[in-house]
Structure 1
Amino acid sequence: MKTELYAPEMAYPANAEFSFRLLATDGRARRGEITMPRGTVRTPAFMPVGTGGTVKAMFMDDVRATGADIILGNTYHLMLRPGAERVARLGGLHEFGRWPWPILTDSGGFQVMSLAKLRKLTESGVVFRSHIDGVPYEMTPERSIEIQGLLDSDIQMQLDECVRLPADEADIERAMEMSLRWAERCKIAFGEQPGKAMFGIVQGGDVARLRERSALALAALGLKGYSVGGLAVGEPQAVMLDMLDVVDPVLPRDKPRYLMGVGTPDDILKSVGRGIDMFDCVMPTRAGRHGLAYTRRGKVNLKNARHADDPRPLDEESDCPASRDYSRAYLHHLVKSGEALGAMLLSWNNIAYYQSLMQDIRTAIEAGRFADRATEIGAAWERGDLPSL
């Protein structure tokens, strides 16, 4: 029988407010805690992506058991289905999805730009047609914050315009300046919400001067947290890291920093070393649905025929049952057969690996050996995990 973890009464400690404190630093790497009424988020943190109110192919109890303190919900998708007003009537996203702990919602801006049909961008906002059924909608900064309020998320993101790279510098600058104006409108719309936070989003593409200007202007708004957006959208990793080097000394040290949509384990390690506290990415669950497992010895493609007779688990030392208790041969069979259980077990393994990586990072920062540990982790990935049958 599954352990019952859902407990709404755990969600609201008395007099809790939104706060962030640094517990340790090691070079530019930061170990901290974000405290909210619904719980504490240990940073650096990886947020599993619950796009439509679910972390794909996983039970929420299992997500929590991997060590996740917070998940992400998507404003655009939840606005279209089942509708923010409906979620609000049903008790909010925490009750609706049986996750009583913290939730961050993105603004919907990235999906509007990348998925919506026939969109028209103005100073007011974006008018677009749903990618599902073509129904027209308008997303303004105020409406984005309203939707996130209806979802009752704990951390809400400003609406921004995300430009895919490579792009013309003039277009990057125009989008960055508009995003700053939208940040001010989002701050006004958000108002004062005890125990909750609105984060601004640093834009500026791959142009250092624009990234710096965006970060300085957002810092001047005195927000409770700051995100770096518009990266990991096709540019080389070196460009992303260069932009983090630009914003690191500019963003307030006493506020959490969130790199949106990132990423691979290697991206995470390198970004933590540049002062980032929070991450999200669809990669672990998407990879799991396509037969790819992440482990402490690197990636394992369960589609490969060499796993067909391999009795070993993915990781015999893991606390996760999906990683420890099922043979690679069985996982290979599930993937090749198209069985849903294969996607479930590999998604579970991958989320568990990402959470164990974050715990490893936090421990290393506390011990003052983050750089050494990052090198050790990378060396283990490089050695790989070929079977010895």
Structure 2
Amino acid sequence: MLNFELLGTEGHARRGRLTLNHGVVETPIFMPVGTYGTVKGVMPRDLEAMGAQIILGNTFHLWMRPGLDVMAQFGGLHRFETWERPILTDSGGFQVWSLGDMRKISEEGVRFASPVNGDKLFLTPEVSMQIQTVLNSDIVMQFDECTPYWQGAKGVGHITTEKEARESMELSLRWAGRSQAEFARLANPNALFGIVQGGMFESLREASLAALVDLDLPGYAIGGVSVGEPKDEMLRIMGHTPHRLPAHKPRYLMGVGTPEDLVDGVACGVDMFDCVMPTRNARNGHLFTRYGDLKIRNARHKTDERPIDETCACHACAGSTDASGKTTGGFSRAYLHHLDRCGEMLGPMLASIHNLHYYLNLMREVRAALDEGRFEAFRAQFKADRARGV
């Protein structure tokens, strides 16, 4: 089940509400990434407390481990990871693409050796739909080929030509049709999204979009960005494609990106975002704040008693209060610097909580600005604040 309500617009920016089998999602929204059935270092209760409405799972990795037998035993991913709200799963296409020489792509699908135990495996649109049906994800992604920016015999060597991008895009379109047919055969009660491909070529993006719209899928994503292309190329496609997608259906920009990318993406008409950046950067001591980015490993933080961000209400910055009125948390930059330098696991856990809270709160502020008809003013202030520096 999927129902999308368009509640308001400001230019191309949209305020919406997405109803799925496991709950309601207010858009625009950022979706934390939980590759192996967990958002690294963050408890489900903390995700709920910080306002996460929907999270991601990874079809490829969950197929490898723990496997479909375990997933079927638990009735899907929600009960397995104790997350009762919506889940989106990717198709496995990007992970297969990233295997490079270890995989062989054909019309039928992709053959590759398991990176876990070396087993010979064959992933097709039909198998991807079968895996995602067992996972019982609220949003299922079609199986596609991620069109690379760089391509050659070993995955590098020359910029993808228009001919190569077209062949890749057309293969993804054929796989979209097969994904839709198998999704229907399985009587999956959730929602299937198509993925617009076409590399860095606007004409191919438009051809992909038109063919996918003919399939009348419940929602559409933009794939094949943030795969190694220069930032200006990514921004060009982000400015071109989203507002051309059907206005009455949700629009998802896959794998993007920085806080600036999210706000600019909303301005271009995107409803949904995901990216590993908040948690991956957190594990490397890179923290996002209202006033720019902070690298907690820098020596200047060794004695700094301030929180990461004095405007932030997350547990790492402001602490939290229990039922008895006792406040815990609220950690200094000096303490987080110390944890990072010592390799203590609490460091990346607190950093992940902060970064995810920052992203989710940013989307909350975007939605409020859209509700009040002041998104462009918000966007200008956001950029000025971020440029100010910590």
TM-score by length of 1: 0.92
Instruction: Give the whole-Å Cα distance in 1 for the aligned partners of 2:44 and 2:212.
Output: 34
> What is the aligned partner in structure 1 of residue 344 from structure 2?
339
- 1:206-225 to structure 2, matched below 5 A, reads 206-225=200-219
| Structure 2, unpaired ranges of 5+ | 150-158, 319-329
| Separation in 2, partners of 1:56, 1:264 | 19
Secondary structure of the structure 2 residue equivalent to 1:191 = helix
Structure 1 partner of 2:143: 159
| TM-score (normalised: structure 2) | 0.92
Report how far residue 133 of structure 1 moved. Answer: 2.5
Moved over 4 A (4+): 192-195
Distance 1:343 1:290 in 2: 8
Aligned to 2:387: 382
Match of 1:182 in 2: 175
**Structure 1 SS opposite 2:102:** strand
1:361 paired with 2:366, answer: yes
3-state SS, counterpart of residue 49 of structure 1: coil
Residues 195 and 45 of structure 1, relative CA distance in 2, 3 Å threshold: farther
Partner of 1:12: none
For the residues of structure 2 that align with 1:246 and 1:320, how far apart are their CA atoms? 35
- Correspondence for 1:133: 117
Pair 1:149 & 2:140 matched: no
Query: Relative to structure 2, which stretch is displaced further, 312-321 or 169-178?
Result: 312-321
**Amino acid corresponding to residue 207 of structure 2 in structure 1:** R
Aligned residues of 1:57 and 1:344 also touching (Cα < 8 A): yes
What secondary structure is seen at the aligned counterpart in 1 of 2:244?
A: coil
- Once the two structures are superposed, the pairs formed by residues 262-301 of structure 1 within 5 Å of their partners are 262-301=256-295
Does structure 1 retain, via aligned residues, the 8 Å contact 2:199–2:225?
A: yes
Q: What is the CA distance between 1:20 and its match in structure 2?
A: 0.3
Instruction: Name 1:7's counterpart in structure 2.
Output: none
Q: Which residue identity lines up with residue 108 of structure 2 in the other structure? A: S
Partner deviation per Cα, 1:99-121 (whole Å, 9 max, x = no partner): 01000000000000103652111
3-state DSSP of counterpart to 2:71? helix
1:326 is paired with a residue whose SS is coil
**How many residues are paired up?**
369
Give the whole-Å Cα distance in 2 for the aligned partners of 1:240 and 1:191. Answer: 33
Deviation of residue 372 (structure 1)? Answer: 1.3
Structure 2 CA distance for aligned equivalents of residues 79 and 116 of structure 1 = 19
Q: Verify: 1:348 aligned to 2:332, yes or no.
A: no
Structure 1 residue 130: Cα displacement: 1.6
Shift of 1:249: 4.2
Range moving further from structure 2, 236-245 or 348-357? 236-245
Distance 1:93 1:347, change over 3 A: same
C-alpha contact (below 8 Å) 1:119/1:128 kept by paired residues: yes
Deviation of 1:35 after TM superposition, in Å, equals 0.3
Query: For the residues of structure 2 that align with 1:293 and 1:146, how far apart are their CA atoms?
Result: 38
Residue 236 of structure 1 is matched in structure 2 by: 230
Alignment deviations for residues 64-111 of structure 1 (CA, whole Å, 9 cap, x no partner): 111110000000110111112321112310000010100000000000
Q: What is the root-mean-square deviation in Å for CA atoms of aligned residues?
A: 1.3
Q: Is the 8 A contact 1:20 1:34 kept in 2?
A: yes
Alpha-carbon distance between aligned partners in 2 of 1:164 and 1:131, rounded to the nearest angstrom: 21
- Residue 53 (structure 1) aligns with: 37
Q: Distance in 1 between matches of 2:189 and 2:4?
A: 12
Q: Work out whether 1:114 is the aligned partner of 2:108.
A: no
| Structure 1 residues 349 and 260: alpha-carbon distance in aligned structure 2, compared to 1, 3 A threshold | same
Write out per-residue CA displacement over residues 158-204 of structure 1, whole angstroms, 9 at most, x where no aligned residue: 00001211312211110100000000010111118575100000000
Cα deviation code 1:260-306 (max 9, x no counterpart): 00111111111111100000000000011111111111111000000
Q: Which amino acid aligns with 2:12?
A: R
Q: Distance in 1 between matches of 2:243 and 2:268?
A: 10
Deviates more, 1:127-136 or 1:93-102: 127-136
Q: Is the 8 A contact 1:117 1:134 kept in 2?
A: no
> In structure 2, what is the equivalent of residue 226 of structure 1?
220
Q: Deviations for 1:323-352, whole angstroms, at most 9, x for unmatched residues?
A: 220000000000111000001000000000
225-234 or 365-374, which deviates more? 365-374
Mapped partners of 2:100, 2:225: distance in 1: 20
